[in-house]
Amino acid sequence: MAYRLMKGNVAAVHGALLGGCTHFFGYPITPASEIAEAAANVFTASGRTFLQAESEVSVINMLYGAASAGARVMTASSGPGIALMGEGLSYLAGARLPAVVIDMQRAGPGLGNIWPEQSDYNMVVKGGGHGNYANITLVPASVQEMFDFTKHAFTLADRYRMTVFILSDAYIGQMMEPVNISGPVLHGACKDWAVRGDAATRKNLITSIHMSPSLQRKHNEELQSVYRQVASELVDFESFGTEDAQVVFVAYGIVSRICRSAVHQLREMGIKAGMLRLKTVYPFPDEEIARLVDAGKHLIAVELSNGQMANDVSLAAGNRSSVSRHLTMGGETPSVEQLVSFAVQRSAR
């Protein structure tokens, strides 16, 4: 349609509309509140459903109910709210119900503050609820990607019958950039497994409980099969200057934008630097990281946490000494100069 200047939070709502989302259930929390505010305006104006619940616990159970009936459902929150949804997220996974959840990360633990962090990684990527489950996790680095990834998330959720997370941060949600809003509305198909309260779906059963251990084992094995399919089909990343690089930053979200500037500056200094920007963190690009390490690259995992993503980088690299970590917490972000200095030290080894 056209380019429009908007916040990342607002772009996600427009992406949801074009992604065919029919129901938004939410509860406001900084730095994600504009998502619920925008949904309250544009969902209702578009004939979609918006409902503000009394708590995040109610929100996630509303997603469960509407998804059971075949709706395309969505919510958005930040770390404390996502933590409250943990049980419901596990129930969604157990019942194989598609849903889209946005987590605009802020500093913790506890209330922390409203500045950006990436410390929800383990909670989202590893599954914050109980049981053996996973969430497809997309990590945008721009306002345009907030639109694009959210739009695409509903197709992925329906295809694999899984929860898809948009794992972002306070800076990406609050910054304003031009967004190309284009393409048709991706309406979802009628789901033959849903329960719509009619004779045709009377036989369908939505549940996450299997009283027999053998049935529960079989159910878990089926879930793991789906997750292996996801791992083989959905890994996504951007390689920037990695082929001839001596040192390669590994990052996602707002940090990847800082790393990109650091790569340019290092190149001007004569140091061959590159970046592996993650677009998915589940599935994780294990093979690409192993390939870079095997090619003699030194990796620097840059992250706004105590090293939650960096642990996965180290595992993929075989826990070799070719991985360093630049970690920042509390809502602060590293400067380009700090990353350049850190990379110079590592490249001199």
SS3 for 110-161 is CCCCCCCCCCCHHHHHCCCCCCCCCCEEECCCCHHHHHHHHHHHHHHHHHHC
pLDDT of residue 52 exceeding 70, the answer is yes
Peptide bond into 283 cis (omega under 30): yes
* Residues with Cβ within 8 Å of residue 171, at least 6 apart in sequence: 116, 253, 254, 333
Strands 176-181 and 323-327 turn out to be unpaired
The SS3 assignment for 229 reads helix
What is the DSSP annotation of 256-273?
Answer: HHHHHHHHHHHHHTT--E
Confidence class for position 175, pLDDT limits 50, 70, 90: very high
Confidence class for position 339, pLDDT limits 50, 70, 90: very high
In angstroms, rounded to a whole number, what is the distance separating the alpha carbons of residues 322 and 289?
A: 11
The total of other beta-carbon atoms located within 10 Å of residue 347's CB is: 17
Structural domains present in the chain: 2-233 (3.40.50.970), 237-347 (3.40.50.920)
User: Whole-model pTM?
Assistant: 0.97
* Cα 241 from chain centroid (whole Å): 24
Provide the pLDDT for residue 263.
98
The total of other beta-carbon atoms located within 10 Å of residue 204's CB is: 14
The total of other beta-carbon atoms located within 10 Å of residue 103's CB is: 26
Confidence class for position 128, pLDDT limits 50, 70, 90: confident
Token pair of 244 as six digits: 């001839």
- What is the mean predicted confidence (pLDDT) over 6-31? 98
pLDDT of residue 231 exceeding 70, the answer is yes
Which residues on neighbouring strands pair with residue 49, listed in sequence order? 23
**pLDDT, tens digit (0-9, with 9 covering 90-100), for 89-124:** 999 999 999 999 999 999 999 999 999 999 999 999
- What is the mean predicted confidence (pLDDT) over 222-236? 98
Token pair of 108 as six digits: 């913790």
Token pair of 285 as six digits: 């690009």
What is the DSSP annotation of 266-333?
Answer: HHHTT--EEEEEESEEES--HHHHHHHHHTTPEEEEEESSSSHHHHHHHHHTTS-TTEEEEE--TT--
Token pair of 175 as six digits: 């910054």
Confidence class for position 1, pLDDT limits 50, 70, 90: low
Tell me what the pLDDT averaged over the chain comes to: 96
Cα distances from 62 to residues 27, 86, 247, 303, in angstroms, run 12, 14, 47, 33
pLDDT of residue 319 exceeding 80, the answer is no
Phi, psi (5° rounding) for residue 249? -75, 140
Provide the pLDDT for residue 236.
98
Q: Cα-Cα-Cα-Cα dihedral of 152, 164, 209, 199, to 10°? A: -20
